[in-house]
Amino acid sequence: MPETTRRAVLAGSAALLAGTALSAVAATPAGASRRSGPKPTVVLVHGAFADAAGWTEVTRRLQRAGYPVLAPANPLRGVPSDTAYLAEFLGTIDGPIVLVGHSYGGMIITNAATDNADVKALVYVAAFAPDEGDTLEGLQTKYPGSKLGMEALDFRPYTQPDGSMSYDGYVKAAAFREVFAGDLPESVTAVMAATQRPADVHTLQEPSGRPAWRTVPTWYLVARNDNLIPAAAQRFMAKRAQARTVEIGASHVAMISEPAATADLIARAAASVR
């Protein structure tokens, strides 16, 4: 091969390799190119009148994106005991964690993540994000608009392990859709009402502890059509926590009616974890 031809072939090959490398870099998501370890585990915590099944569609989306997902059962027995349960659960997970809470689940993640260095991001989905000393009742009634009054609840007594009596609160079937899930079909909310998990009434007035959002990066999904936690209360809590905030037109169960938007915000929080 003549020397001039050989040089031309080599130069063309080098240009082709360089172009291929540049194309590969451009096609790689920015988050993926900077991530050196495995993706963080996403832990999804449900609230009262619900269970982990509410996270089903969000879980599917996150799993398809390659995230390990866990959705433990929240005991709904009281702020101190539920916090202790979740804190111990988080202690069984290796590596970074993105901790997500819905409704009352926000109260629990706020407390359970405190002093856990593995929790790298908090995500609140139409959730309580309390400061120290706040109660659920105080935050829920801070702004007008909640339709979860005493008249919307049924109370059923139960015996606690120490033999004392307490009460579980259930949303009445007739009020459930309007209060909880107004953007879902009635056939769906009828089943949700029948299968709801109640919370002990004491949770309403139990104060929150030192909030993890003071030291952990935070995201918040505001549900504008929420009839349980008014949107104004959600905005107040999100601003106070200096959360990166997204608003959508959804009922209280935004993770069920708008799973794509919910999963997207969680993925954004997860992408920030290095």
Q: Is residue 28 part of a domain?
A: no
Q: Is residue 14 part of a domain?
A: no
CA distance 234 to 210: 19
Neighbours of 70 (CB within 10 A): 17
- The answer for residues whose C-beta is within 8 angstroms of residue 75's C-beta and 6 or more apart is 81, 82, 85
Q: CA 101 to CA 43: how far, in whole Å? A: 8
From CA 66, how far away is CA 75, in angstroms rounded? 28
Global pTM reads: 0.87
pLDDT at 274: 81
Domain of residue 261 covers: 35-271
For residue 87, being part of any structural domain is answered with yes
Is 225 domain-assigned?
A: yes
24-31: long-range pairs with CB below 8 Å, 24+: 31/271
pLDDT of residue 251: 98
d(CA 25, CA 30): 9
When the pLDDT of each residue in the chain is averaged and rounded to a whole number, the result is: 90
Q: Where are the beta strands (DSSP E) in 53-159?
A: 69-70, 97-103, 119-127, 153-159
Task: Kindly tell me the sign of the dihedral angle through the C-alpha atoms of 205, 221, 257, 224.
Answer: positive
User: Residue 168: inside a domain, yes or no?
Assistant: yes
**CATH code: domain of residue 217:** 3.40.50.1820
How many Å apart are CA 256 and CA 8, to the nearest integer? 60
Output the tens digit of pLDDT for each of the chain's 274 residues: 444 434 443 344 433 333 333 333 333 333 333 345 789 999 999 999 999 999 999 999 999 999 999 999 999 999 999 999 999 999 999 999 999 999 999 999 999 999 999 999 999 999 999 999 999 999 999 999 999 999 999 999 999 999 999 999 999 999 999 999 999 999 999 999 999 999 999 999 999 999 999 999 999 999 999 999 999 999 999 999 999 999 999 999 999 999 999 999 999 999 999 8
Would residue 234 count as lying in a domain?
yes
When divided into structural domains, the chain yields a total of: 1
Nearest Cα to Cα of residue 48 among 230, 232, 202: 202
- Per the CB < 8 A criterion, the answer to whether 200 and 77 are in contact is yes
Q: Are 11 and 65 in contact (CB under 8 A)?
A: no
Instruction: Name which of 120, 119, 117, 110 is nearest 206 in CA terms.
Output: 110
List the beta bridge partners of residue 124. 101, 220
Residue 1 lies in a domain: no
Identify whether 15 is part of a domain: no
Indicate the burial class of 248 (C-beta count within 10 angstroms; 0-12, 13-18, 19 or more). Answer: middle
Residues 87 and 117 sit within 8 Å (Cβ to Cβ): no
